[in-house]
Amino acid sequence: MKKIFTLIALACMGYACTPGATPPIASQIGATNYTPGRVVWHDLASPNPEASAAFYESVFGWTTVPYGEDEKMVWIFKKEDKPVALMAYYQTENNSGEWIGAISVPDVSASTQKAKNQGAKVLKKAMEVDNRGTISFIQDPQGAHISLVKLANGDPEPTLAEINTFLGQELWSNDTDDSESFYSNVVGYTSEETDNQKVPYTIFKMGDLNCAGMLKNPAPTVRSHWVPYLRVADLSETIAKATRAGGKVLIEPNPEIRNGNVALLMDPTGAPLAVQVYNP
């Protein structure tokens, strides 16, 4: 899996369609302040970027903008004119895709070293990436992939996600106690247990800010994963679009799970993602 992160990182530094230009991520999504602990960016590692682009364009109405060429090619997903994610090509033995969230931290090198001290594998050490900031990629002790980032111009404002953009991130952990200890030490989270779910559920917090969720992995034979959530307006319509575009429904809406407002999908390359109707 190390190849995933190497390609994403190196591709971001490659030549773009305009000589000398790289994807203007930081300047288009960052504010002036930082909100450590929040997942502030998402990367899609895809073995078939053409299929991935077609899927996310069809389901969420995104546009796909290419940058670079050959092995340094990357694609920026945009909703209207705002970047929402980056995609890079990779290929592994199981030939499946994966979404990788980026957690904001004040010092990427220091947090990466803490992660290593806590048993994580450092898949790509902290590096400076033009028009993005400083980023590293790790695999936590339970096998979940995540990146640590300090964006160049500050983090996006912590406002409610727009429709068809990322709503949040959830860790499906094979050992929730170990994961809680790990992310507390590495990121600085405090944890809050909630009783409004049908299963034990943990909220990772920084001060009063809810940053991410965690639950026991419902598929214990599969390594731990961070699962991204996208906010949608209509769950049935989104599921229909996803299946027509070649995706699969892994978990159907169920009244016992968040009042039937959530479904777990898999895109055509095998990357899991959750979609949710969320109107607080």
Per-block mean pLDDT, blocks of 10 residues, the chain (280 long): 46 36 67 91 94 98 89 89 91 80 98 98 92 92 95 90 96 96 98 80 95 90 92 98 97 87 95 94
Last residue of one domain, picked from the residues 151, 176, 192 = 151
* Pairing of the two strands 133-139 and 145-151: antiparallel
Q: How far from chain centre, in Å, is Cα 171?
A: 11
Residues 128 and 31 both lie in one domain? yes
% of the chain at pLDDT higher than 70: 89
Any domain includes 200:
yes
Count of beta carbons in the 10 Å neighbourhood of residue 178: 16
Per-residue model confidence as pLDDT tens digits over 97-108: 999 999 999 999
Q: How many domains does the chain have?
A: 2
Any domain includes 264:
yes
Residues 79 and 201 both lie in one domain? no
CATH number of domain containing 202: 3.10.180.10
How far, in Å, CA of 118 to CA of 137, rounded?
15
Give the range of the structural domain holding residue 99, as residue numbers without chain letter.
Answer: 2-151
Residues 116 and 17 both lie in one domain? yes
Phi-psi bin for 206: left (phi > 0), alpha (psi -120 to 50), beta? beta
